Structure 1
Amino acid sequence: MRATAETASLAAEAYNVVRQRIARGELVLGQAVSRRQIAAELGMSFLPVTEALLRLEFEGLLESRPRAGTRVRIPSQQDVEGNYVVRQALETQAAILFSQVATAAERSELRRLATRVDGLSMKSDRSMYVTLHLKLHQRIAECARCDALSEAIGRTHAMAMIWFCVMRKPSPDDSPRRHQHLVDEISSGDETRIATAVREHLAVGKRHTIEVLEPCFKTNSLRFSRTRSA
């Protein structure tokens, strides 16, 4: 039991290290990830590192292919579109529940967070923006008081996290109060307004994501074709 617990703890450590490197853009789309190198850096055996990388594969951040090894996953356009379809469904429900059950303190916290996110949205350093942006959306889910919903949204955010690191510049469609407007609409309590606000908010993100990642889609398609023909 002690060995199992120790392995789980080390796997969690390795998971957090690799995930943070992806979030900060230190590991980029398509970059190889070496189990041996990570194990050596962290001073642990292959087993916990393997468990960590399998977890990241499950979340869609990494992928393994024959003769190619493990690498940071390059999404397809279908991956992106599907992710946003799921996010819209989940985040609309979370926003409606938030409007019904969130406390006054939580609403104030969300407004402050939205102001910070908007303040960072036009800056060239995207690392802090990515962190706070994901935190904002996750807090809406957490304050909806539904663990299953919050966990499902967290999984969609894990996959999207890496795309934000590629998008070094803000979308030209971004409003200076884009996230504050979203929070205002959620706070209205009107389900129609909330659903519309979430849909429009995510639509801007989807357009920008697809535009920026288009070269990656082509590269991924070419690599996949070569792998199949090899």
Structure 2
Amino acid sequence: MEKIPRRRQAYLYIQQRILSGDLSAGSQVSELALAKELGMSRMPVREAIRQLEVEGLVRQVPRFGTIVHSLDRAEMAELYEVREALESHTAESVAGRLTDEDLQMLSLLCKRLLQVGRQLQESTQKTFDPKLLQSFLAADMGFHMVILRAGGNRRMMKIVADLRVLSRIFATQREPHDLKIVVNVYRFHRRILRQLKNGNTQKARYWMQEHIRASRRLALESFDRRQALGEAKAAMPLALPQDLLEELNQLEAGEANKR
């Protein structure tokens, strides 16, 4: 097996620490400390940090150094607008031409959402524990990833990978998820899947747009509530499911190999 370049190792390590919340928004990123943790020189770590800066995960602050970027309200809204444009177009383009394997996977991911909802309903909890939350995120993100991958537009996939649209949205600090959110996501996914199966391009596009717009409204309402209450009190760091993070990285690596 080919050895992963040191710059790539450093990139994946720092990226995972950011998306898991281990390196939280606003915290300083120490090039020297990371190099020591990884047991490598500062050069590959510096190159990895530059790549993360291009992707918007970190930023340079004069007289302070590199810090983990924190999305403001406008940036969060922009990310959802990018998702809406890319994913609604993809849903329209793949409607009626998905493989049986893709359709089976989408159907399975819908069932997983339903299972998560039932588990929450049967429990004594009103909101997700970390394990159930990860199951929800994996099923939700997986559904969108299958559709994006089926589109086959390498440039579009590269844009999604570079901007980390999906990962930034799901790694953003949010309020606890509840049964209502699961039910809403499940219903949207079933509607989208139905139109993809039927080959109704316009309705597939419409329901994907409505789904992302509804998610955007919830995210912005949550952001506003957190600001009113104080970020530290209402925030809840969420990790990006590892398997989906790897898929995003594979998209990027595959595109890089073609250049």
TM beyond 0.5: yes
Structure 2, unmatched stretches of 5+, are: 121-127, 232-259
SS of structure 2 residue aligned to 1:101: coil
| Aligned with residue 161 of structure 1, among 153, 160, 167 | 167
Q: Could you give the per-residue CA deviations for residues 141-191 of structure 1, whole angstroms, max 9, x where no partner exists?
A: 1111221122222334x1452442312522676252233333233333212
Shift of the 162–124 alpha-carbon distance from structure 1 to 2, 3 Å rule, reads farther
Partner of 2:124: none
The one-letter amino acid of 2:151's match is: A
Partner of 1:89: 85
Following the alignment from structure 1 to structure 2, what is the Cα–Cα distance between the partners of residues 216 and 173? 23
Say yes or no: does 1:213 pair with 2:219: no
How do 1:34-73 and structure 2 match up within 5 A?
34-73=30-69
Partner of 1:136: 143
The answer on whether the counterparts of 2:10 and 2:38 sit within 8 Å (CA) in structure 1 is yes
Say yes or no: does 1:11 pair with 2:11: no
SS of structure 2 residue aligned to 1:212: helix
The answer on whether the counterparts of 1:101 and 1:145 sit within 8 Å (CA) in structure 2 is no
SS of structure 2 residue aligned to 1:31: coil
Partner of 1:182: 192
Q: Could you give the per-residue CA deviations for residues 15-42 of structure 1, whole angstroms, max 9, x where no partner exists?
A: 1112222222222222222111111111
* CA shift for structure 1 position 217: 10
SS of structure 1 residue aligned to 2:63: coil
Shift of the 65–160 alpha-carbon distance from structure 1 to 2, 3 Å rule, reads farther
* CA shift for structure 1 position 119: 4.0
* CA shift for structure 1 position 48: 0.8
TM-score (norm 2): 0.72
TM-score (norm 1): 0.80
SS of structure 2 residue aligned to 1:174: helix
The answer on whether the counterparts of 1:24 and 1:127 sit within 8 Å (CA) in structure 2 is no
Count of aligned positions: 214
How do 1:113-124 and structure 2 match up within 5 A?
113-120=109-116, 123-124=128-129
Partner of 1:193: 203
SS of structure 2 residue aligned to 1:143: helix
* CA shift for structure 1 position 68: 2.5
Following the alignment from structure 1 to structure 2, what is the Cα–Cα distance between the partners of residues 17 and 131? 20
Following the alignment from structure 1 to structure 2, what is the Cα–Cα distance between the partners of residues 86 and 135? 18
| Aligned with residue 151 of structure 1, among 154, 158, 172 | 158
The one-letter amino acid of 2:208's match is: V
The answer on whether the counterparts of 2:80 and 2:216 sit within 8 Å (CA) in structure 1 is yes
Percent of aligned positions that are identical? 24
Q: CA RMSD in A?
A: 2.8
Structure 1, unmatched stretches of 5+, are: 221-230
Following the alignment from structure 2 to structure 1, what is the Cα–Cα distance between the partners of residues 89 and 197? 14
SS of structure 1 residue aligned to 2:60: strand
* CA shift for structure 1 position 59: 1.3
Q: Could you give the per-residue CA deviations for residues 78-99 of structure 1, whole angstroms, max 9, x where no partner exists?
A: 1111111121111011112222
The one-letter amino acid of 1:124's match is: D
Q: Could you give the per-residue CA deviations for residues 47-81 of structure 1, whole angstroms, max 9, x where no partner exists?
A: 11111111111111111111222122111211111
The one-letter amino acid of 2:129's match is: S
